[in-house]
Chain A
Amino acid sequence: MTTRESCIICQIVGNKIPSKKIYEDELAMAVLDVNGANPGHCFVMPKNHYPIIEQVPDVEIGRLFQVSNKISSAIFESLGAQGTNIFVANGIPAGQTVAHFTINVIPRKENDGINLQWQSKQLSEEEMSTVELKLKEQTKNIGHFENEEKKTAKIHATKPVILSDEEEEYFTKQMRRLP
């Protein structure tokens, strides 16, 4: 397991900070947000320390969102929610506040004061075509996903690997400003 000493989520995962856990397996953990947007708001996070989604291995992504979906169903069944949101903020401009990838599962009721809506922006045909071409060119690189769960030693390692704050990869430059 990889953890980072200064990370609050790693401390929750390591039981150094108390939390109300609702789910745990070898890769994922889910806890209740004590200052949630609605009662029942949960965080689902990888036990390993990854600041942003791009760093999380596919196997763990699969597990984390499966767990999120189970929690979403559980919220419908047991809390009488009228809806649920799955919400990820990836990077500071997207509203991420903690440098550990987290999925929010939020129970919803009508007029509950939560706003995840947006004003649509008007783009010209040319602008749309430009962004389409750029994205299409890049998505050609999307290959096979690592759908098979690998029983690697890393997952079952007993001693956590502690990352220092400096050991971050180049594309997480955006994350450096995170606490």
Chain B
Amino acid sequence: MPEQNISQEQLRALQEKIKQMSPEELKEFQKKQCIFCQIISGKVQSRKVYEDDKVVALLDINPANPGHVLLLTKEHYSIMPQIPDDEVAYVFMAAKSLSNSMLRSIDAQGTNIIVANGIAAGQRAQHFITHIIPRKDNDGINFVLPQKTMEQGEIEAIGNKLIAALGGVVEKEEEKPIIPFKLQEPKKKEAKGEFNLDDISRLLGVK
């Protein structure tokens, strides 16, 4: 990613250019700029600990703990919602195996698996990354998840919004489960495109 000394005008031009791109063009544009795609192809050196036809796992050069692994899809995606279902499943099957490997080979007493989608969530790279961090007691890592209290009405409202967005059906009776829906159904592509474009341009540093 060019952390560039370019003028405001060039920045605007680039931003405009990105806005005009189709999702496919944008993906290609991003891929060319992506350091992780260069690592995957071997153009940039790394310490790979696992590789198959779909994913690569390598040691983070700035690890939270020794053995901190970055699990990458070989295909370029910038955020998780862009990834097809079967590949999502595959990535996390691999993450599970890597977590298991950490417990067995480097005396990890636990692991964290973390994905950040978007800058607000702490994403720093423009390639989708799953972090797998080996943990030990008192290792100095302190993730903060505050507990916020929600009103019952707010819980219902937010829950129902999510159910609707998931394509589910809100049941009248509390006890009854929601009617399951098919996972593979393609849903609201254009809505996804909107936030993707915004995120992607921000990820490129062209706010």
Contacts and interface: CB of A to CB of B under 8 A. Distances in A.
Contact of A117 (B83, B106, B122): B122
A77 B191 contact: yes
Contacts of B161: 78-79
Contacts of A93: 109-110, 135-137, 139
Interface residues of B, number: 92
Interface in A64-95: 64-67, 69-79, 81-95
B32 interface: no
A127 B89 CA distance: 32
Contact of B96 (A56, A91, A134, A135): A56
B7 interface: no
B135 A18 contact: no
Contact of B89 (A66, A96, A129): A66
Contacts of B94: 142, 145
B165 A82 contact: no
Contact of A70 (B109, B111, B164, B183): B183
Interface stretch (B8-16, B21-29, B97-105): B97-105
A63 B89 CA distance: 7
B67 A135 contact: yes
Given A65-B89, A119-B140, A139 B145 contact: no
B69 interface: yes
A106 B102 CA distance: 25
Interface in B180-207: 180, 183, 187-188, 191-192, 195
Interface string A19-37: 0111111100100101111
Contacts of B59: 128, 131-132, 135
B200 to A, nearest CB: 13
Question: What is the interface residue range for chain A against chain B?
Answer: 35 or more
A90 B110 contact: yes
Interface in B25-72: 47-50, 57, 59-60, 62-67, 69
Contact of B159 (A32, A89, A174): A32
A38 B150 CA distance: 9
Contacts of A145: 90, 93-94, 97
A36 B96 contact: no
Interface of chain A, main secondary structure: mixed
Contact of B178 (A22, A113, A115): A22
B48 to A, nearest CB: 8
7 tightest A-B contacts by CB? Answer: A91-B110, A62-B89, A83-B118, A83-B121, A94-B110, A120-B62, A74-B165
Interface of B: 47-50, 57, 59-60, 62-67, 69, 80-81, 83, 85-86, 88-94, 96-106, 108-123, 133, 135-137, 139-150, 154-156, 158-159, 161-166, 168, 174-175, 177-178, 180, 183, 187-188, 191-192, 195
23 contacts: A22-B159, A34-B155, A62-B89, A62-B92, A73-B187, A74-B162, A76-B192, A77-B165, A79-B162, A81-B118, A82-B118, A82-B119, A83-B119, A85-B117, A91-B110, A91-B135, A110-B119, A115-B143, A116-B144, A118-B64, A131-B66, A135-B50, A142-B98
Interface of A: 15, 18, 20-26, 29, 32, 34-40, 42, 53-54, 56, 58, 61-67, 69-79, 81-96, 104, 106, 108-110, 112-121, 123, 127-129, 131-132, 134-139, 141-142, 145-147, 171, 174
